[in-house]
């Protein structure tokens, strides 16, 4: 099932996302004693991460039972300003009592293919074969990419691997990303989309254009779009 929630502004989007994260964590831990989540990079999710690091939400989450992964990473060291790991450490992980062994960093400092192979092994070890994420948080770019699944890249057709390295021509750089089969196996996938710069891409996705973000269709999971009014501007008829 796909749900679509339009929030008045970016602050309320962050609050809705943080509340949902805490609820899904509580439910997963109650049912399976673990909450396996893949965090999104970029700038949109950062305010929500900050809310999760503060009361009242932080105290509602049993952090030692949370396993943190990333949906994608740039091919940079963890200290690099572009690192998604660095952003989420500073916004959230350094501020909550999550054990170090529960934080599964993508080793962006390694050669891309080696980093991807290492992460596939880590996913296999922690999640087990066929393991499903309880939650995958995703953003969306102005071109409709999500994670590091960019338009017209071969990775969109990868049915074999859980996590791969991909050279993104339009960015002139390597990226590391979960693949669609892994994303679509998740129990819950939540897009966070904010700002008028995303309105055109969101309208294209919503109209059925097969942009990468539109290919996220969890087979047996729940899909939710949390957007703000500016991002939804292209969806309002007239």
Give residues with Cβ within 8 angstroms of 148, minimum separation 6.
Answer: 72, 73, 155, 166, 168, 175, 176, 177
Strands of the 163-168 sheet, one edge to the other: 72-74, 173-178, 163-168
Exposure string for 120-156, b = 16+ CB within 10 A, e = fewer = bebbeeebeeeebbbbbbbbbbeebbbbbbbeebebb
Among 21, 41, 107, 223, binds ligand 6PG (CB under 6 A): 41
Q: Looking at 25-33, 35-43, 61-69, 101-109, which segment touches ligand 6PG (CB under 6 A)?
A: 35-43
To ligand 6PG, the closest distance from the beta carbon of 141 in angstroms equals 4
Q: Looking at 20-28, 95-103, 112-120, 138-146, which segment touches ligand 6PG (CB under 6 A)?
A: 138-146
To ligand 6PG, the closest distance from the beta carbon of 152 in angstroms equals 16
Q: Looking at 36-44, 52-60, 88-96, 101-109, which segment touches ligand 6PG (CB under 6 A)?
A: 36-44
15, two tokens: 């609050």
Residue (of 112, 105, 111, 118) closest to 39 by Cα position? 105
Residue 16 parent element (H or E):
helix 10-32
Contact flag: residue 40 with ligand 6PG (CB under 6 A): yes
Q: Looking at 2-10, 96-104, 115-123, 144-152, which segment touches ligand 6PG (CB under 6 A)?
A: 144-152
139 vs 218, which CB is nearer to ligand 6PG?
Answer: 139
Among 146, 179, 182, 184, binds ligand 6PG (CB under 6 A): 146
Bond into 12 cis (ω within 30): no
56 vs 172, which CB is nearer to ligand 6PG?
Answer: 172
83 vs 102, which CB is nearer to ligand 6PG?
Answer: 83
25, two tokens: 């964590």
Residue (of 6, 17, 23) closest to 48 by Cα position? 17
Residues in region 85-124 near ligand 6PG by CB under 6 A? none
Dihedral of CA atoms 107, 109, 111, 114 in degrees, nearest 10, equals: -20
Binding site for ligand 6PG (CB under 6 A): 40-44, 71-72, 84, 139-141, 145-147
């Amino acid at each position: 099932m796909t749900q679509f929630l339009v929030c008045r502004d970016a602050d309320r989007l962050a609050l809705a996302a943080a509340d949902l994260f805490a609820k899904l964590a509580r439910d997963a831990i109650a049912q399976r004693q673990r909450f396996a989540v893949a965090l999104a990079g970029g700038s949109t999710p950062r305010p929500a991460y900050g809310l999760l690091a503060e009361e009242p939400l932080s105290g509602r989450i049993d952090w030692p039972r949370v396993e943190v992964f990333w949906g994608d990473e740039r091919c940079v060291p963890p200290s690099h300003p572009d690192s998604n790991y660095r952003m989420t450490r500073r916004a959230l992980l350094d501020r909550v009592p999550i054990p170090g062994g529960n934080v599964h960093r993508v080793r962006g400092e390694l050669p891309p293919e080696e980093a991807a192979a290492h992460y596939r092994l880590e996913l296999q070890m922690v999640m087990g074969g066929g393991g499903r994420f309880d939650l995958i948080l995703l953003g969306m770019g102005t071109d409709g990419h999500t994670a590091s699944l960019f338009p017209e890249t071969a990775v969109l057709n990868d049915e074999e691997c859980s996590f791969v390295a991909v050279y993104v021509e339009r960015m002139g750089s390597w990226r590391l990303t979960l693949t669609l089969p892994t994303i679509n196996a998740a129990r819950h996938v939540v897009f966070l989309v904010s700002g008028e710069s995303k309105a055109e891409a969101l309208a294209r996705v919503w109209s059925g254009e097969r942009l990468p973000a539109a290919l996220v269709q969890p087979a047996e999971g729940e899909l939710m779009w949390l957007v703000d009014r500016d991002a939804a501007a292209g969806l309002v008829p007239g």
